Each structure stands twice: as C-alpha cells, then as structure tokens.
A = this chain, B = another copy of it.
Amino acid sequence: MILVNGAPGEVIAVTDRGLTYGDGVFRTFAVRGGRPQHWQRHYARLRSDCTALGISCPDETVLRAEVTQAARHEPDCAARITITRGPGWRGYAPPSPANPTRIVMTSPLPQYPSDFAVHGVKIHLCALRLGLQPALAGIKHLNRLENVLARAEWSDAAIAEGLLLDAEGNAIEGTMSNLFIVEHGALATPDLTRCGVAGVTRERVIENAVRHGIACDVAHISYRRLLEAEEVLLVNSLIGVWPVRELAGKTWAPGSVAARMRLWLDEEND
C-alpha cells in the first residue's frame, strides 16, 4: 500500500523536488506483526537526515500511524518512508515556505536464500568508487546514482552484493548494506564521514558490541585490510547479517562473530 501525504495514492507532482533534484531522504525497514521494527532509531535517523538538508521532518506520531495504516493488510512487510522538500519550480533555491512531501510504501519482505545467512554470500568488487562528499556523507538521501551504477555492474544471481570502495581505496559499504570486519576477535566498521550511508543496523551492531565487551573501531579500512580480516560481514535492516564467503577469489569460512551478531540483533527485536 502507498500513502502520499497521508492519503492512499500512487503518484506525486512532477514538480516535486524529490524528482527534479533528488532533494529528499528515505529509510527502509521491516514491519513485523504490524509493528515497524526499531522504529525510534529509524525515525531518529530520518529526522537527522532531514535536518542535515534543511527539510522539516514530519512528526513521529504521524509517520508511525501511516506506516501502521499502510501495513494493515500485510503485517509482515518491508516499508519505505520518503521525505522530500516538496513541490518547487525551476531553480535550486529552496521554496520558502517549503511544503515537504511524505510517502509511505509497503512491499513484501524480500525472500533471500536462507543459505546467505548460514554459509555466507559471494560479493562483487565494484569498479565504481564512491566520491568523497562530507556534506552528504552518512545521509540516506535520494541521490543514489552511485549505488545504481555500482549495482548495474553485475547480473549474476549468485552474487548477492557489491563492495564499494571510496576514491582512495578504502572499503566503505555494500551497495545496500553496511560493512563490518573481524580482526583478532574485535570488530571494525568503516568511517562514514566522507561517503556512505549510516544505517540503523550498523548503529545497533556498534552499540551491541560495546555492551558485550567487544571492541568496535570506526576507522579507515583499506581494501587490503578487509581481505586479511578473519570475517567480513554485511548488515542491513532487511537482510540482518550476511557473512561474506567469497570476494575477488578470496574465500572465508563462516565465523563465530557473525553468529553472535545475529543473536544480538534477534534478541533486540521489538
């Protein structure tokens, strides 16, 4: 089901700046039993991403009610909230006052092979390198052409995800997931202050690691360092945790940290 500004609908104005300039943000998350999972975290990120772009974020209660309404007939689903700066006309200057557009969409939960979580996934090293843009780094905004171009690099269904490096050769993330590596039993995850998207599951993993006494370094991680890691793990709100089994000829056996991380996340489910 789709709600546009609270009403069932499937369209927006062609003058909406979300279309004309990608001037907006979004979040994708799971709904289970009619409840948006880790809602407070998703809303907090949505709000801070809106603030970073100077967009007024709709109230939490309004959005939560709309997610619940959209999921009424499919209590277990994926939901996406999109907030744009709203209609504009020609020109980059933000309209004043702006009238943000909110879109809540639900769709079936993606059905990934259960094997992905158990035995791990084969991933592709993307040729596209992420550009460095501190002003937009971390934000889940609508300017996603880098992800689109990277994802278009492979069509082999046996490849589950693509690894993105930045312009300087640091490993940053998957096209749709965040990245962790395991070294001597400790975790590390890429610094996202120059590019990349800061996902809610990444945040949860970092917090859980601290809580369980496992170090988690947020750092620049070179591609070489990643290849030498004991485990490489991909996370997001819909896939949970996927261990990487194969990348560029290098292989890994499923490790113990992936299993522990999955347990942390499962225990925490709303």
Contact = CB atoms under 8 A, between A and B. Distances in A.
A80 interface: yes
Contacts of A133: 131, 146, 167
Contact of A148 (B13, B28, B92, B105): B92
Contact of A10 (B13, B54, B93): B13
Given A2-B14, A14-B12, A143-B144, A107 B92 contact: no
Interface in A112-145: 128-129, 131-133, 135-136, 141-145
* Most chain B C-beta atoms within 10 Å of own C-beta, residue among A82, A92, A93, A176: A92
Contact of A107 (B78, B90, B149, B167): B90
Nearest to A139: B145
A11 to B, nearest CB: 4
Interface in A45-97: 53-54, 78, 80, 82, 84-85, 89-94
24 contacts: A2-B14, A4-B14, A9-B14, A10-B13, A11-B13, A11-B14, A12-B12, A12-B19, A14-B103, A14-B105, A17-B148, A21-B145, A22-B144, A23-B145, A23-B148, A80-B90, A85-B148, A90-B110, A92-B144, A92-B175, A94-B151, A133-B146, A143-B144, A143-B145
